[in-house]
Amino acid sequence: MDLAGGRPVLGIESSCDETAAAVLAGDGRILAALVASQEASHAPFGGVVPEIAARAHLALLPGLVRGVMDQAGLGFADLGGVAATTGPGLIGGLIVGSQMGKGIALAAGLPFVAVNHLEAHALTARLPGLVPGGAPFPYLLLLISGGHCQCVAVEGVGRHVRLGGTVDDAAGEAFDKVAKLLGLPWPGGPALERLAAAGDPARFAFPRPMLGRAGCDFSFSGLKTAVAQTVARFGAGALEPRVAADLAAGFQAAVAAVLADRAGHAMAMFGERHPGVAGLLVVAGGVAANGAVRAALGAATAAHGFGLAVPPVALCTDNAVMVAWTGIERLRLGLVDALDVAPRPRWPLDELAGAVAAPPPPRPPA
């Protein structure tokens, strides 16, 4: 039962430091999408400040929602539902975005979908046109972002099996922390990749944590510490440009090698779980934009006979398109959430399996 009735769905994203809204047609076509970056607000602090992020979401979201609705040429009465990220993430931002989504749903009598941010990343590959022939279930997801690093078997909407994850820092956290050690601006990932392009990845022999170990868990804390110890050996003050570039290149090469190795183990685990299924590795999250990481994962998938799907950069990082699409996927199955659903700063994917549909609110009289 498609509760949206094939009508467009509004998506709202506010889980961290990107404020976003999007409207998708019932078939997944992107009718309008806007993202407001908070990068300038957080850069002086070298990272995301939750209170600043929440206040920015509160200030920016109304204009973004109006903007996408105007661009799509729609009123709220034309929608088939509203989807908003409700976890995991920074609680202040989650409250702002989910409450706005609930308010619109209540006022317009629309079904509301409380979207799990991780599931939104997981389902992005199913957007029409991203994967030739579509991305049927099941497939393997490697989610590598600032806050998350895990391998997941995506077996259906609300059906996700975590195969492995980081035991300490996420890959994106490690990029940002090493970039700070090298004196680079925040966000560190893109700046470090630019610096690494001029460096020699073989000059410093950094460790490859968990390389070859059974399973597909990750660890990046020891690698970060090894870089910090190497930087300290060069003494106080700014690093010479060549040294900094070589450090960046060595660190990036180590991360790429670890991700490729762990993904290889995850592909083997996925194959054992789903014998005979054409393997597809979907990579999402901000670190998926890194060229060295993409190249390493491309080689790994080729070696294991898997296809590789990496959405465009704009859909790898936090965005509302993936939120609206997840709303469409869930509404098609008759899954809708009550308006008293609470935002959750922690919301593991495996807790989605027991979700129960709630009736949509009645539409107001015309």
228 in the same domain as 334: no
- Written as six digits, the tokens of 98 are 């989910």
Q: Is the pLDDT of residue 115 over 90?
A: yes
Concatenated DSSP letters of 154-175: EEETTEEEEEEEBSS--HHHHH
Average pLDDT, the chain: 92
116 in the same domain as 216: no
- Residue 151 · residue 140 · CB < 8 Å: yes
- Which DSSP helix (H) or strand (E) runs through 201? none
The Cα–Cα gap between 192 and 157 comes to 36
The Cα–Cα gap between 308 and 291 comes to 14
Among 36-45, 188-197, 227-236, the least confident range: 36-45
Mean pLDDT score, 101-124: 96
Q: Note down the domain range covering 209.
A: 137-310
pLDDT of residue 128: 92
- Which DSSP helix (H) or strand (E) runs through 11? strand 9-13
Residue 299 forms part of a structural domain: yes
Going by pLDDT thresholds of 50, 70 and 90, the confidence category of residue 71 is very high
pLDDT of residue 361: 56
The Cα–Cα gap between 149 and 168 comes to 10
The Cα–Cα gap between 223 and 200 comes to 17
Residue 2 forms part of a structural domain: no
- Written as six digits, the tokens of 193 are 């990749």
255 in the same domain as 343: no
Percent above pLDDT 90 for the chain: 78
154 in the same domain as 41: no
Residue 131 forms part of a structural domain: no
47 in the same domain as 27: yes
**For the chain, how many structural domains are there in total?**
2
Residue 339 forms part of a structural domain: yes
Cross-strand partners of 30: 24
- Packing angle between helix 188-196 and helix 171-181, nearest 10 degrees? 70
251 in the same domain as 326: no
24 in the same domain as 80: yes
Residue 19 forms part of a structural domain: yes
Q: Within a 10 A sphere around the Cβ of 362, how many other Cβ atoms?
A: 7
Residue 54 forms part of a structural domain: yes
- Residue 6 · residue 80 · CB < 8 Å: yes
295 in the same domain as 192: yes
Going by pLDDT thresholds of 50, 70 and 90, the confidence category of residue 247 is very high
Q: 226: domain CATH number?
A: 3.30.420.40
Contacts of 45 (CB under 8 A, 6+ apart): 52, 186
- Residue 168 · residue 224 · CB < 8 Å: no
Residue 152 forms part of a structural domain: yes
Q: Is the pLDDT of residue 43 over 90?
A: no
pLDDT of residue 366: 53
Helix (H, G, I), strand (E, B), or coil: what is residue 275? coil
324 in the same domain as 303: no
CA atoms within 13 A on the CB side of 81: 33
Residue 214 forms part of a structural domain: yes
Residue with tokens 């002086």: 44
343 in the same domain as 221: no
- Residue 107 · residue 75 · CB < 8 Å: no
Q: Is the pLDDT of residue 281 over 70?
A: yes
210 in the same domain as 304: yes
> What is the pTM assigned to this prediction?
0.92
294 in the same domain as 224: yes
* pLDDT tens-digit map of 309-324: 998 888 888 899 999 9
* pLDDT tens-digit map of 149-197: 999 999 999 999 999 999 998 999 999 999 999 999 988 899 999 999 9
pLDDT of residue 356: 44
